[in-house]
Structure formats: C-alpha cells, structure tokens
Amino acid sequence: MSSPIHDPLAPPLPDAETQVKTTTCYMCACRCGIRVHLRNGEVRYIEGNPDHPLNKGVICAKGGSGIMKQYSPARLTKPLRRKAGSERGANQFEEISWDETFAILEQRLAHLRATDPKKFALFTGRDQMQALTGLFARQFGTPNYAAHGGFCSVNMAAGMIYTIGGSFWEFGGPDLERANLFFMIGTAEDHHSNPLKTQIGDFKRNGGRFVAINPVRSGYAAIADEWIPIKPGTDGALILAIIREIIALGLYDREFLARYTNSGQLVNQDGASNDFGMMLRKADGDVLNPLRPHNFYWWDRLSNQPVADHTQGADPSLLGSFVMPDGTPAKPAFQLLKERVAECTPDWAEAITGIPAATIKRLAHEMGITARDRKIELPIPWTDWWGEEHQSVTGNPVAFHAMRGLAAHSNGFQTIRSLAILMSLLGTIDRPGGFRHKAPYPRAIPPNVRPPKGAAAVQPNTPLGGAPLGWVETPDDLFVDGEGQPLRIDKAFSWEHPMSSHGMMHNVITNAWRGDPYPIDTLMLFMANMAWNSSMNTSEVRKMLCDKNADGGYKIPFIVVCDAFQSETTAFGDLILPDTTYLERHDCMSILDRPISEYDGPVDSVRVPVLPPTGDCKPFQEVLVELAGRLKLPAFTTADGGRKFRNYPDFVVNYETAPGSGIGFLAGWRGKDGEKAMRGEPNPKQWEMYEKNGCFFQYHLPPSSQYMRNWNKGYMEWAQQTGMRRDNDPIIIHIYSELLQAFRLAAQGKRPGKQPPAELRERVATYFDPLPIWYAPLEDAQSDLTNYPLNAITQRPMAMYHSWDSQNAWLRQIHAHNLLHVNSRTAKAAGIEDGGWMWVESQWGKVRCLCRHSESVEPGTVWTWNAIGKASGAWHLSEDANESQKGFLLNHLISEELPANAAGKRFSNSDPITGQAGWYDVRVRIYPAAADEAAVSSPQFAPLQALPGMVKEVPAWRGWFAGKKGDGQ
C-alpha cells in the first residue's frame, strides 16, 4: 500500500484565522457553558466548556448543532410590518427600519401606558431573561405579563415550593452522587438535562438502583433498572398508597419529621371554629417573624402537655388526638396525614394506576428500608435554626426526580405536593443522598413576592403596585376586583386558579379574543409559538388571532411578535421584531431569575456575543431597554428624566434592585473593582470579569452551609445578608398546609377578607385540601370515557427538547416527523397497522397521523414526540417537508378550556389551584384511516411563504465547512 495522499491530521485550512470564545448555550433551557471555535469568522465547532460547573465539558445533540441554528435560512433579519390592506395571518409583510419600528411601538405603548396600562400584554416563551421582561412589565404598569411556565411546569414549582420551600427544576434536584435508590416519575428529561444525564450515568456506574415510573419507556426510563408503567394522571394515587404503606410500617424518618416539618404541630379540630383546620397558635409564643408567625404548638409526648414548638427538651407527639387546655380538640398534622391516607390502600391505587398492589408495596418497602438502613453521615458540624449544634450532616439515600409528567395534569399540584410529602417522610430534604436545594432556594413558603392586590394596583403612567408574577400566601393576596373577579387577562391569581405563580399564558389569546375579563390592545409575544405548539386548541386559536369585531377591527387589535426565526406565529404579527441568536447577544442567567446554581452554592452566568448580529436583527433585551428609555419607565430613567441605561450590558452592570441595594442581575464581581460577591456596588468591568472566568460566577458555600438549609442557621444568616432571603426564619416543611386550608375556609365563608364568587366556592373548597389528595383529572369528568378510552400524551425527544430547531438541518434529520406510538395490542385491536395511517380523535378534534406499534407504552396510553409536526412552509422548510406532511401536532386535540359546566361557565383546562395547563389530560380514541384517504397528516394549513429579509433561495444541499464563507466544496 502506498502512503495516503490525504493527510488525515492536517488542518484543512492551515492559514485560517481561528478564535475560541466562551459563552453560554441557548439551544435549550439547560444553559451549559460552551466554547465557540471560529474559523475566518464562521462557527467551526461548539464544545462543552470543561471548566463550567454545570456541564463540565459535555454537550448535547442540540448544543452540538448550534451551527445550523446560526446559519438557518429561517432567520429573520429585518423588522417587518404587516402590509397595509393585507389581512392578518395572510403573511404579507414589508421591511421597515428600526427607527420606524420604535416609533410605532413608542406611540402605541405610550398611549396605553397613559390611559390603561393593562391593555398591553407581554408574554414570553423560552425566555431566559424574566428578570428583565418582568421588570419591564412592572415598570410599564401592566399586570399582564408571564412566561410560559403556566403551561410548562408551574405545578412542579408550586407543589413543591408550597411544601418544602424549593423544587426540582433549576431550583433543586436529586443528589445522585450519594443516593442508592432513585425514582424518576413521569417525563422529566427536559430540565437541567445534561447534568442530570451525567449524574444518572455516574449513579448507575456506581451501582445505584434506578426505578422509572412512566406510561412510556423512553428517554432516561430506558436505562432504568425497573420500569413501572402507570396510567397518566394517576401518579398521585400511587404516591398516596406508598405514603400509607410507609406510615403503616413506620418506615418514616420520625426524627426529621418531628424537628423539621410541621408533622408535630397541632391542628385545630374544632369543627365549629372558624379556624378549623388551621394551626393552633400559642398566644404568648415567639412568632419569630411577625409577617409569618411561627408560634405553633407541639404536644410534648414526654410531659404529655402542649408546649411551644421546638421547646428545648420536648418531643412532639406525631400521632394521637388531644384536647387543649381550653378544650379545643387538636391533632398533630402527621396524625391527620395518616388518617387521610388510611383509605389509600395499595389495592385502591392498583385500580387507579394499573400498577399491581404488590409492586406498590414493594416500592414503599424499597424506599423506606433503604432510607432507614443506609444512612449517610458526613463529618460536617452545623447548627440548626434553634441553636442546636449537630456534629454531622446525615441523610437518607433515596432520591426522586419528576417534572412535567406529574405537572401537566389538572391534579398535578396535589400530586406533586404528595411527592414532596413522601420525600419529607423519608427524611430526604436538603440532605445528602436525597433532594438538594439550589440558590436562591430554599425560600419562604411561599416566597415573599406577591402579586398586586386589586384594581388600584394598575394606574396610568405608574409602575404596577406589586409584581406581575408572585406567590399568593393568603386569599387576600389574590389579584381580584371587589366582586372577586379576575384582573389579569389570563385570570391568574383569581379564585379560578389562585396560586398561578407562573401566570396562564395558555389562556391569554382565548381570553383576549373573548374580551374576558376585558379586551386588550397590544399583545407582544417573545419567542413563543402561540399559533402552533405553544397553544392548546391550535386550530381555533389561529382563528381567534385573526377574528374581527363587528366594526371590522381585530379582536386583538395589535400583535407584536419577536423571534429570531420565521414561525407559524410570525404570520399573525402586525409587527415582527427580528431577534438575534444566542451567539450574537449579551444575556444573563440572573440570580434574580433562574440561575444555574449548584447544590453547594449560587452560580450565575452570562452570554456574550461571539458573532456580530445577522442583518438588522436586534436582541430583544435591547428592544426592551430602548423602549423603556423612550417610555421613561422610572427604573430606566434618571432623576432629571434622562435615559439611564445606554444599552442592555450597561443596564445589567448598573441596575440595582433598590438604590444602593448592591443587588443586581449578576452576583459575581460586584463592588467597584469586582472584589465583592453576591452584593456590592456596580462594577463597570463586570462583563469583562465574567468573560475572563468563562462567562460564569460560582460561589461555594462552606460545607456547614450546604445542607439542611431550610433550618441551617449559618446558611440563613448568609442568605439574609446577601439578599437571597428577606427574612431568616426557618422554613418548616408543610406536611399539612394551612395555607391551602385558609382558602378552603374562605370558600366556606369562615374567613374574613376576600371571598370567592358564589359559583366558585365549592370548587375552591374541594381542591384546596390541606392534606394531599388524588382526584381524577378534571377533563375526565367531562369526557365520555367509553368513547374516548385512551390517554394521549406527548414528550419532546432529547435531541429537540426545549429547543425550537425544526429549522436546524442536522436536528431535523433525526426527527423529521412524528408518529403516534400505540401499544401493539391496542393498535391491533383497533385494526391499525404498524406504519399505517390512522386517526386519533378527542372530543375537541381529530388528527390523521402515522402509527408506530410499540411495546414500551402502557396499553391505555398513546403518545408522540411533541412539536415535531409543523405547518407547511413554516420555519422556511419546503411546503412538502416531512414535518408538515407526515408530522402532526397533538395540540389540535387538546382544549385550552374545559367544556361548559351546568351554568355555562368554561374554566381553563388547568389545575384548579395553580392554573397549570392540563395538557396531559386529554382522552382520545383511535381508528385506522380509510384506504382511499390521502397519505398526508391532517389538519393541513395553507403553506406559509418566506418573509422579506429571509434567505430567498433555500439551499438544496449543504456541506458546512467553516471558514470558506459558507458551505464547503
């Protein structure tokens, strides 16, 4: 053999100019550190940053495909205005300048702000800058702001935060480094994905046992040691049965429950009292925090009498029934929990979940025995909030993870609260081997940010009197008018969905179209595909966006869409603002929003531009800072009325939450010379310092402050000093939630203050149960389960989740279209062939799609990859692209509202507590498509054409070779 001619090691362009720049990925919500390699100014390679605490050098399929996002032909490059005389949705646009764009926006928004600020609604999708968008809305004075959390996983946030003061998500997670046993319940691949994959890999290599409870075995469940199929929406029943078994067998961590949860607190059991079900409070007890009094009672089992909670030397009875000296009957919260789950036998749960009772018992035993017998002890001394010094940190090595699979059901809040209670019973909260918090969590139950309290909070030319999004603590925190009616366009924080902490973006368009509770003028959408996969009932929503009043005006008069790509939604804009990609902008993963903290301390990070903006695109942050300046929003305006911030980077450096607070968007390198962490005056060189450190800032807490942070004195003092928490009172776990009970009492007319409208009293009283409950998803009650016997659910594939990359030439080759996965026996019984065309139909609509037989899905469930199906021509794909011709969107089958009740009222198809969209609740039936039907998915929509400023000719092929000014040879 002669020697090779082609040198496989030689650099192909030896004289090319190369550069490596560090920034943060934004191909999904994970936010890994990346190093972007440039060759002659083009992206050659994007690698995981090995020094980054989050991903430690790894990167996923999306991160590795950033090149194809950057150079996608679907990119918008010019501000566009709907052509005069053209209909909305007809996709007819003309280029305009940014000057014109800002002039249009300034004029319109200034008028709204001066007259009725709530007529401006700002809703964002995969926004990683809620600290800024939320601030903008608040300063503008509109309550009508939210990101996509309402249909994402607010149940997960709320269910756990209202119970343990923290949650999965970016706020906490399983300590797989030390766990022995790991349960993943429902689809949960989407958040914190790369670190979780790494941790699961290490966990399994180290001999940990991984159990997946999921209707579908895909994703992480694929590598579980055991897969337990479950019917969707029934997880709560499973968890309650496990709780029952654990209590019945005494497998709970009593010591932990007694000291760190409200298990031993005495609950008023006087049915005649207006305080029935509320915690008894010791009048002369220490309230600790007047805003959140802690003067509870324990029944000290040693002295057999009521004492102040955490009295030194006392030990609360967790079980039993007691009579207070004043004659009030009382029970410890734990006793009430035990009574609550008494009927939740494994047999009861088997009938609901489809999991054999013996398996349910075994799961409980595995959890309980592992937690009890494999205790972890770390030689780390720490002091608890009550001053007791502990020589070590201990933990029980049973960890859980869950996310949307539990959350996206209308019973998700109670299910997730049940999970948080189970985790607490096992003694695994912020302890090694269990669940660990990440800064800024743990926070108070609930955190201290409150929504506005009434109509008066919205005033012309005035910032909103409250945060647009916050945490409701009592019924009086609801954002309702004098009649108890909603004041937000999405009806969040109303009696219909009181604890809707992330808003209810999924109802905005329907409500605005209906003018219920009122019409709005301008709807600004950022990075949200509301005319497609981000809306339920997509076909109808698309009509609403174009619907007109009798006077010929649009029901939603003005729609502004900001996105980097042409999408199904851009067609419905009146104004389109071209956003940059993540490689062309400054960004920050702010400690004020959802930072990327690790278990051992806060971490935040930034993006810096590694490429110049394409065409005339402009980062949305710059648009907001510019608009805020023009509208003279107070936080963006100097005392003399001038513009306070030059641009977004300038804003990030100099903005402080309050004058002189020393707290800003970024926690690192604060202080004049960057010498301070967490808190300190603005540092003009802060961006450079982040850049120098790989675009992240990591703060390591001392080991003594890394655990038990709900009750860790050292940590709490630090958290208060740094502004992470307002107070430093202990965060006692709510095994029993008197916060929920207060809503129930209000609904029963036993509580002064805000009252639910009469028609909502029963609903509130039913679902605001202070103890965990399971009820069938709300849609079940209004569905014909005989005719629609199957559950239909979706998940995103790993190569696409939290991404918007159908425009991505590499990723779309992996998932060009989607099929409906049906258990082989179910499909055969319905006469549907593997690979054949079929119909899937709900009471709301029907979709024709392709079938894939599967052995890895529970027989009563069908599922598909979500948001792979696209509208023809969208994302600058050809009209005959697989995404539109073979792919489909299940959203057509899901309603954003439940059927009208007897009174004709239509509630949002959401959790009655949090407003989380119940998009995993839909019931369907399936049947084969007729042989003579077209081999194309249905419904179809008129193909979209490219917009001005987009690449005219979509390449018929690509061979990306960076450094050659475009594609290779």
Q: How far is the CB of 370 from another protein (least distance, A)?
A: 7
Contact of 604 with 667, CB cutoff 8 Å: yes
The region, left, alpha or beta by phi > 0 then psi within -120 to 50, assigned to residue 802 is: left
**Residue 214 in the binding site for another protein (CB under 8 A):** no
Q: How far is the CB of 548 from another protein (least distance, A)?
A: 34
Span 446-505, contacts to another protein by CB under 8 A: none
Contact of 908 with 504, CB cutoff 8 Å: yes
Contacting another protein (CB under 8 A), which of 375, 679, 906, 958?
A: 958
Q: How far is the CB of 311 from another protein (least distance, A)?
A: 17
**Residue 810 in the binding site for another protein (CB under 8 A):** yes
Q: How far is the CB of 225 from another protein (least distance, A)?
A: 5
Contacting another protein (CB under 8 A), which of 813, 901, 905, 927?
A: 813
Region binding another protein by CB under 8 A among candidate stretches 405-413, 459-467, 496-504, 957-965: 957-965
**Residue 952 in the binding site for another protein (CB under 8 A):** no
Q: Is omega for the bond preceding 440 within 30 degrees of 0, making it cis? A: yes
Give the relative orientation of helices 346-353 and 357-373 as an angle to the nearest 10 degrees.
120
Q: Judged by CB, which is closer to another protein: 628, or 950?
A: 950
**Residue 61 in the binding site for another protein (CB under 8 A):** yes
Q: Judged by CB, which is closer to another protein: 301, or 632?
A: 301
Contacting another protein (CB under 8 A), which of 460, 615, 634, 968?
A: 968
* Residue 71-110 contact track with another protein, rule CB under 8 A, x = bound: --x-------------------------------------
Contacting another protein (CB under 8 A), which of 31, 44, 282, 923?
A: 44
* Residue 782-801 contact track with another protein, rule CB under 8 A, x = bound: ----------------xx--
Main-chain phi, psi angles of 639, to 5 degrees: -60, -35
Residue type, 280: L
Contacting another protein (CB under 8 A), which of 70, 142, 163, 194?
A: 194
Torsion of CA 590, 593, 597, 602, to 10 degrees: 70
Q: How far is the CB of 821 from another protein (least distance, A)?
A: 7
**Residue 706 in the binding site for another protein (CB under 8 A):** no
**Residue 215 in the binding site for another protein (CB under 8 A):** no
Token pair 């950033």 is found at 66
Those residues with Cβ within 8 angstroms of residue 466's Cβ, 6 or more apart along the chain or in another chain? 143, 450, 451, 452, 453, 457, 479
**Residue 434 in the binding site for another protein (CB under 8 A):** no
Residues in the interface with another protein (CB under 8 A) total: 121
Q: How far is the CB of 568 from another protein (least distance, A)?
A: 16
To which H or E segment does residue 630 belong? helix 620-630
Contacting another protein (CB under 8 A), which of 33, 48, 117, 470?
A: 48
Contacting another protein (CB under 8 A), which of 70, 139, 218, 791?
A: 218
Q: How far is the CB of 866 from another protein (least distance, A)?
A: 14
Sheet of 322-323, strand order: 266-268, 329-332, 322-323
To which H or E segment does residue 279 belong? none
**Residue 251 in the binding site for another protein (CB under 8 A):** yes
Contacting another protein (CB under 8 A), which of 50, 381, 460, 753?
A: 50
Region binding another protein by CB under 8 A among candidate stretches 10-18, 507-515, 579-587, 737-745: 10-18
Span 365-394, contacts to another protein by CB under 8 A: 365-366, 369-370, 373
Tokens of residue 304, six digits: 């057999």
Of 455, 449, 454, 485, nearest to 467 (Cα)? Answer: 449
CA distances from 94 to 82, 391, 583, 617, 944 (A): 6, 70, 27, 15, 15
**Residue 934 in the binding site for another protein (CB under 8 A):** no
Alpha-carbon distance of 408 to 805, in angstroms, equals 23
Q: Judged by CB, which is closer to another protein: 45, or 98?
A: 45
* Residue 276-315 contact track with another protein, rule CB under 8 A, x = bound: -------------------------x-------------x
Span 832-891, contacts to another protein by CB under 8 A: 835, 852, 854-859, 876-878, 880-882, 885
Which runs of consecutive H residues, i.e. helices, occur in 788-880? 811-814, 824-829
Contact of 884 with 874, CB cutoff 8 Å: yes
Q: Judged by CB, which is closer to another protein: 202, or 481?
A: 202
Of 125, 122, 129, nearest to 24 (Cα)? Answer: 129
Q: How far is the CB of 591 from another protein (least distance, A)?
A: 25
Contacting another protein (CB under 8 A), which of 689, 816, 830, 936?
A: 816
How many Cβ atoms from other residues are within 10 Å of residue 159's Cβ?
A: 32
**Residue 21 in the binding site for another protein (CB under 8 A):** no
* SS3 assignment, position 587: strand
**Residue 15 in the binding site for another protein (CB under 8 A):** no
Q: Judged by CB, which is closer to another protein: 106, or 879?
A: 879
Contacting another protein (CB under 8 A), which of 90, 104, 248, 324?
A: 248
Region binding another protein by CB under 8 A among candidate stretches 5-13, 450-458, 579-587, 934-942: 5-13
Tokens of residue 966, six digits: 């475009």
The region, left, alpha or beta by phi > 0 then psi within -120 to 50, assigned to residue 708 is: left
Contacting another protein (CB under 8 A), which of 114, 249, 291, 323?
A: 249
* 486-521 residues labelled b (16+ CB within 10 A) or e (exposed): bbbbbbbbbbbbbbbbbbbbbbbbbbbbeeebebbb
* Residue 141-180 contact track with another protein, rule CB under 8 A, x = bound: ----------------------------------------
CA distances from 292 to 80, 236, 273, 726, 731 (A): 51, 29, 22, 12, 11
Strand partners, 841: 846, 925
Main-chain phi, psi angles of 641, to 5 degrees: 85, 5
Residue 759's Cβ-count burial label (10 Å; 0-12, 13-18, 19+) is exposed
Q: How far is the CB of 525 from another protein (least distance, A)?
A: 24
Span 606-635, contacts to another protein by CB under 8 A: none
Q: Judged by CB, which is closer to another protein: 156, or 247?
A: 247
Tokens of residue 412, six digits: 């998700």
**Residue 830 in the binding site for another protein (CB under 8 A):** no
Region binding another protein by CB under 8 A among candidate stretches 135-143, 203-211, 475-483, 742-750: 203-211
Contacting another protein (CB under 8 A), which of 162, 210, 296, 572?
A: 210
Main-chain phi, psi angles of 828, to 5 degrees: -65, -40
Instruction: Name the maximum alpha-carbon separation found in the chain.
Output: 101
Those residues with Cβ within 8 angstroms of residue 241's Cβ, 6 or more apart along the chain or in another chain? 341, 344, 345, 346, 348, 349, 360, 364
Alpha-carbon distance of 46 to 66, in angstroms, equals 7
**Residue 22 in the binding site for another protein (CB under 8 A):** no
**Residue 252 in the binding site for another protein (CB under 8 A):** yes
Q: How far is the CB of 509 from another protein (least distance, A)?
A: 29
Alpha-carbon distance of 937 to 849, in angstroms, equals 5
**Residue 965 in the binding site for another protein (CB under 8 A):** no
Q: Judged by CB, which is closer to another protein: 166, or 368?
A: 368
Tokens of residue 118, six digits: 């709530």
Contacting another protein (CB under 8 A), which of 21, 81, 292, 362?
A: 362
Q: How far is the CB of 784 from another protein (least distance, A)?
A: 26
Whole-angstrom distance between the N-terminal and C-terminal Cα of the chain?
Answer: 28
Q: How far is the CB of 735 from another protein (least distance, A)?
A: 14
Query: Would you list the DSSP string of 281-333?
Result: B-TTS--S-TTS---BEEEETTTTEEEETT-TT--B-SS--EE-TTS-EEEEH
Tokens of residue 214, six digits: 């999921």
